[in-house]
Chain A
């Protein structure tokens, strides 16, 4: 059973988003995703200032098992990346919703929340994948 904070938004690519008070959005991968990937060994991060398009890849997380793209869930500009992941990618395994955050974006305009998933929607997706 994977952990699922109620104050986040989710994507079908097993990523989470948190809307920060300053208008930026923090993004990471879900507990389910880190468990499926296994021990993380390398994270390739974007440059701060880079523009990203919704659905485009913006980072890569690599585990002992495989490489997996992290997609931009919204259009925006990278305002921060989690540099600590370079030396300690296993923060994603240990704390996927906290210290294991990956990228912070400044959205271009309003966020279309209807394109994202609520915790309940995401839980349904996980239940479907289980069955």
Chain B
């Protein structure tokens, strides 16, 4: 028996297939993972992401602390509500976790980290916070629902008190706001527009029901994974971990190198790797033969070397198999993947595969 979110009874009532995810009993799907996937691409779907760990950081030196702790630079966050995606690195430059940090006010930042990494993340944050006199509080009493899809904001707005709707619908990408006892942010993990709504646990079941009434489809972790794969968004533990630098996980864009004097944790090792010509590539793959690419399959680049698929699966939007892979350095756009002893052909493609309902690669 794992931990249960405040929406667990809703999932069971909707005949969800429940699976263990990082110690949580979570819905995998409610009948058809593919239909849930398409609902998000074409209309709106919702995900219970209450298992994720919300941590509030308070103190006058919080910004200074986060400029030390995180590889991206919270100096970019100047307007209250503004969010930033970043990695939190260890001293060797490996990724402890990826997270979103929100600037609430000068003495209050909010970070949302992965559920499966909760314990080590909290320990690392607390350990580093002491020197900055920053108070670290986990907000386990909060629930979170991600509403995603082209109609997500329009449909989810009906769950907000009338006084907040206009302002919430005007939120810019990667920005959040408090709306009474809710926190609404225009963020997500699907490659579609939408909101992530943080709320007191006690309100979560009623808001879930309101969203159902508004024609938002309940979606499980299965669809969440195929959607994020199409959007080429990394999954911690699959695409990167503590032995992998953000540069070898396609996350170089999240590292703020300037100003050069900002001494964030892990900077030295990843700076040394930055201009290393042997640094591995992190790419998207499209399967040209029939079959399905899966995590950990070996990628063979003739005359160059071997690599590995870090996330593979079937793309319901494209109707073909796609993957993210870490491959040896080199200039090539074809490779082969060892699928049960057979070498299948793949093409290296520019990610994302899908964004805002549109296929973005040549198929």
Contacts and interface: CB of A to CB of B under 8 A. Distances in A.
B292 A39 contact: no
Given A64-B33, A64-B314, A65-B33, A38 B291 contact: no
B222 A44 contact: no
A12 to B, nearest CB: 21
Given A41-B314, A42-B314, A64 B294 contact: no
B316 A64 contact: yes
A67 B34 CA distance: 16
Given A64-B33, A64-B34, A64-B313, A41 B292 contact: yes
A39 B30 CA distance: 12
Interface residues of B, number: 17
Given A39-B32, A41-B314, A65 B222 contact: yes
Contact of A39 (B33, B290, B321, B340): B33
Given A64-B34, A65-B33, 18 more contacts: A38-B17, A38-B29, A38-B222, A39-B32, A39-B34, A41-B314, A42-B314, A42-B321, A44-B291, A60-B340, A62-B292, A62-B314, A64-B33, A64-B222, A64-B316, A66-B294, A67-B292, A67-B340
B35 to A, nearest CB: 8
Interface in B280-294: 290-292, 294
Contacts of A44: 291
B290 A42 contact: yes
A65 B290 CA distance: 17
Contacts of B314: 41-42, 62, 64
Interface string A59-92: 0101011110000000000000000001000000
28 contacts: A35-B17, A38-B17, A38-B28, A38-B29, A38-B32, A38-B33, A38-B222, A39-B32, A39-B33, A39-B34, A41-B292, A41-B314, A42-B290, A42-B314, A42-B321, A44-B291, A62-B314, A64-B33, A64-B34, A64-B226, A64-B313, A64-B314, A65-B33, A65-B222, A66-B294, A67-B292, A67-B294, A86-B290
Contacts of A60: 340
A19 B34 CA distance: 34
A95 B342 CA distance: 30
A71 B159 CA distance: 50
Interface string B315-331: 01000010000000000
A84 B313 CA distance: 22
B285 to A, nearest CB: 16
Nearest to A57: B340
Nearest to B35: A39
A42 B33 contact: no
Interface string A35-58: 100110110100000000000000
A55 to B, nearest CB: 17
Contacts of B28: 38, 65
Interface string B155-188: 0000000000000000000000000000000000
Contact of A42 (B32, B222, B226, B291): B291
Interface in B62-90: none
Nearest to A86: B290
Nearest to A44: B291
Nearest 4 pairs of A and B residues by beta carbon: A41-B314, A62-B292, A39-B34, A64-B33
A62 B292 CA distance: 7
B190 to A, nearest CB: 15
A42 B180 CA distance: 48
Interface string A92-123: 00000000000000000000000000000000
A128 to B, nearest CB: 19
Nearest to B314: A41
A65 B223 CA distance: 10
B29 A42 contact: no
A42 B319 CA distance: 10
B297 to A, nearest CB: 10
Interface in B39-79: none
B359 to A, nearest CB: 17
